[in-house]
Amino acid sequence: MTGFVCDHCGKCCRSLGRYIGIERQLSEGDYYCKNTLSGEVFPVHVAPEFAEEIDEDFSSGTPGSHEGCIFLRKDPNGPGHVCAIHATRPRICREFRCYHMVISDAKGAPVGRMVGRADIQTSDPVLARVWNEEVKPLPCPAAPSGDPAWVERVRAILAAHGYRVETVESGNR
């Protein structure tokens, strides 16, 4: 099993973020938030470098007016995005994985990722064909990467074509 490696694209925060709402501000940089999907209420602490910016957005009365999570910010140190509450982010964020499986070629170079329930992201035409013709038709469990029998079946199909599969564990973001 391999660990999830975040590329800081921000897609997860733009989609999941709409379910994270600030209930109230405790102090500059400290808030009670709510996951509107689960009803979970949790405290968060904003990293000092983003505290003033978050406070201004929250105080404006329109904290949800931008795309995604109010705590998603452009990375001041480079390309991509960062989470202003990463150290205290809620469980839904800690457990989220953009992809569930990394597929490598015979030389060990990553050539694809399984996303969603059983979709593939790849620029390798052979892998795309094998996935669509042999893996996609398999009966898909609700959480495919959590079903060892399904994963082993996919692993065997792809191995027959020279690919290796590593599942991705959550919680490493």
Over residues 1-21, mean pLDDT:
74
What pLDDT band is residue 105 in, cutting at 50, 70 and 90?
very high
pLDDT at 61: 66
Give the bridge partners for 21, in sequence order.
34
Over residues 127-132, mean pLDDT:
96
What pLDDT band is residue 100 in, cutting at 50, 70 and 90?
confident
With H, G, I as helix, E, B as strand and everything else as coil, classify residue 85: coil
What are the domain boundaries of the chain? 2-95, 99-169
Other beta carbons within 10 angstroms of residue 39's beta carbon come to: 7
* pLDDT tens digits, 42-79: 999 999 999 999 988 888 766 545 678 999 998 888 88
Of 55-64, 90-99, 115-124, the range with the lowest mean pLDDT is 55-64
Over residues 76-105, mean pLDDT:
86
Q: What angle do CA 24, 25, 26 make, to 5 degrees?
A: 115
Give the bridge partners for 67, in sequence order.
none
Order the strands of the 110-115 sheet from edge to edge: 2-3, 164-169, 99-104, 110-115, 119-122
- Mean pLDDT score of the chain, rounded to an integer? 85
